[in-house]
Amino acid sequence: MEKTKFERFSLKPFIIEAIKKELNFYEPTEIQERIIPSILNGESVIGQSQTGTGKTHAYLLPLVSNLEVDKKEVQIVITAPTRELAVQIHKEVTRLIEFTNDEITAKCFIGGTDKQRTIEKLKTQPQIVVGTPGRINDLVNENALIVNRVRSLVVDEADLMLDMGFIKEVDMVAGKMPEKLQILVFSATIPEKLKPFLKKYLDNPRFTHVAPKQPTAAKIEHVLVPSRHRDKIKLVHDMLVSFNPFLAIVFTNTKKKADEVADGLIARGLKVGRIHGDLSPRDRKKMMKQINDLEFQYVVATDLAARGIDIKGVSHIINYEIPTTELDFYIHRVGRTARAGSSGIAVTIYETSDEDALIKLEKMGVEFINRDFVAEEWKELDDRKRRQSRKRVADEVDALAKSIVQKPKKVKPGYKKKMGREMDEIKKRKRRLDRKKK
């Protein structure tokens, strides 16, 4: 069997077997390379990296490898901000433990499920727990989940955990764990408000920041389309029909707008799925299954779907509007496409008021192509900055002409036309001079 570069780490044989046969990994990603040895040594770690850098396996491989299989107690607790992400992480854990001859138990605990039935199942404690902070905290408070001998706590997507108000529950759970605890925090950003939590629990952690070589995948084409006061839902519908995507996600900033766009597209004859926080847990689970079973070609979503949820086969992203709270969400949104080396298209509909946000995204390294979609055809547009620059120069020339040509003290008939001719002459001379300088 072909060797894998993961063999240079001190991982247990069954983990190496899972890497070769199930995960099909050959070479570690940068964050895996830098963090796996530290976690194997029992160090606490803060890992800062973007979506799609392989951080889930950066902590799962060493943690599962270090598990003491003879101890039938909770040893690892992994918290995630959304139910979908928790289910996804649990699925990755089961892929690993299938390769061991020992019995390793892993359970997923999320909100929206029968708590009493879960408590009854906890007569035997699992060795690995994955779940949402609220449900884990409930089970700990009920003395159903015993965490006083936990060795490792993972806080995944910590900045999103903070945004969604769950860091308090993580804090409460961590407070019931042993003082000597390995804590692994993973986050795309490290906001100021997260620092008190980090300071409270982490004593000299290993900090690893994997800066993206480029902000988004290399094979994403970023297209800017001006809104121009058009019916945006019709515009999105026409673009989707033109693309005929394998799977497209349309992102909105609010749940209300997501429903409005989804309803508008359905009214125009498209079969559309939707993902946002107002769906019941059962409906969300059903929707994710339908999307992964390719029952929908089009999905309308809020930023809940942009972080951590792995929807396979997304070929197109449409930003119905630019993220208003965190521009980083643009990176997370478009990160749903062009995964694992494939290509993707990300279209952003923008208003003139979005100019500051677009400039910031360009400073982050996003390179936009300017196009428009008119009469069912794509048309190349001039770079919007060139158009703005042209307008700015025209405004400057106008201002110069107006400052030179003054209104006469004694007004005679036809003075406005005369002033206009003089101003036109000054503008012509200014343009000629500018051309000579170039």
- Dump the DSSP string for 360-391: HHHHTT--EEEEEEETTEEEE---HHHHHHHH
- Those residues whose C-beta lies under 8 Å from the C-beta of residue 116, and which sit 6 or more positions away, are none
Name residue, tokens 């089970």.
139
Note whether 346 and 424 are same-domain residues: no
Select, from the ranges 162-166, 318-322, 387-391, 429-433, the one with the highest average predicted confidence (pLDDT).
318-322
Note whether 375 and 390 are same-domain residues: no
- CATH number of the domain encompassing residue 159: 3.40.50.300
Q: Which pLDDT belongs to residue 284?
A: 83
Place 12 in a pLDDT band, splitting at 50, 70 and 90. very high
Note whether 155 and 259 are same-domain residues: no
Q: Which pLDDT belongs to residue 54?
A: 86
Distance spanning both ends of the chain, measured CA to CA: 64
Could you tell me the residue range of the domain that residue 119 belongs to? 5-209
Residue 260 in domain: yes
Note whether 226 and 140 are same-domain residues: no
The token duo for 52 is 């799609």
Q: Which pLDDT belongs to residue 437?
A: 57
- Those residues whose C-beta lies under 8 Å from the C-beta of residue 192, and which sit 6 or more positions away, are none
Pairing of strands 377-380, 368-374: antiparallel
CA separation for the pair 86, 78 (Å, rounded)? 8
Note whether 148 and 245 are same-domain residues: no
CA separation for the pair 156, 135 (Å, rounded)? 16
What mean pLDDT comes out for the span 8-23? 94
Note whether 299 and 182 are same-domain residues: no
What mean pLDDT comes out for the span 64-90? 94
Residue 120 in domain: yes
pLDDT at 438 exceeding the cut of 70: no
Residue 398 in domain: yes
Residue 215 in domain: no
Q: Which pLDDT belongs to residue 276?
A: 86
Residue 214 in domain: no
User: Using the 8-state DSSP alphabet, how is residue 407 labeled?
Assistant: P
pLDDT at 392 exceeding the cut of 60: no
Nearest Cα to Cα of residue 346 among 197, 224, 428, 236: 224
Residue 312 in domain: yes
Q: Which pLDDT belongs to residue 385?
A: 65
CA separation for the pair 163, 30 (Å, rounded)? 27
What mean pLDDT comes out for the span 406-422? 64
The pLDDT tens digits of the residues spanning 177-214 come to 999 999 999 988 888 888 899 998 887 888 888 876 66
What distances in angstroms separate CA 418 from CA 130, 421, 425, one per listed residue? 80, 5, 11
| H or E segment to which residue 184 belongs | strand 182-187
Are the C-beta atoms of 61 and 26 separated by less than 8 Å? no
Per cent of the chain over pLDDT 70 is 85
Note whether 23 and 167 are same-domain residues: yes
Q: Which of 142, 177, 209 is the last residue of a domain?
A: 209
Residue 105 in domain: yes
The pLDDT tens digits of the residues spanning 44-54 come to 999 988 766 78
Q: Which pLDDT belongs to residue 434?
A: 66
Note whether 65 and 153 are same-domain residues: yes
How many domains is the chain partitioned into structurally? 3
The pLDDT tens digits of the residues spanning 211-269 come to 766 666 668 999 999 999 999 999 999 999 999 999 999 999 999 999 999 999 999 99
What mean pLDDT comes out for the span 397-411? 57
Are the C-beta atoms of 317 and 248 separated by less than 8 Å? yes
Place 393 in a pLDDT band, splitting at 50, 70 and 90. very low
Name residue, tokens 């299938």.
98
Q: Which residue has the higher pLDDT, 92 or 111?
A: 92
The pLDDT tens digits of the residues spanning 96-154 come to 999 999 999 999 999 877 888 889 889 899 999 999 999 999 999 999 999 999 999 99
Q: Which residue has the higher pLDDT, 76 or 121?
A: 76
The pLDDT tens digits of the residues spanning 278-329 come to 888 788 888 988 988 999 999 999 987 666 567 888 999 999 999 876 777 8
Q: Tell me the sheet residues that pair with 77.
A: 129, 153
Note whether 175 and 232 are same-domain residues: no
Are the C-beta atoms of 150 and 181 separated by less than 8 Å? yes
Per cent of the chain over pLDDT 90 is 54
Note whether 391 and 373 are same-domain residues: no
Residue 122 in domain: yes
Stretch among 281-285, 360-364, 406-410, 418-422 having the lowest mean pLDDT: 406-410
Note whether 261 and 350 are same-domain residues: yes
pLDDT at 388 exceeding the cut of 60: no
pLDDT at 340 exceeding the cut of 70: no
Place 428 in a pLDDT band, splitting at 50, 70 and 90. confident
Q: Which pLDDT belongs to residue 244?
A: 94
91: left (phi over 0), alpha (psi -120 to 50) or beta: alpha
Note whether 63 and 143 are same-domain residues: yes
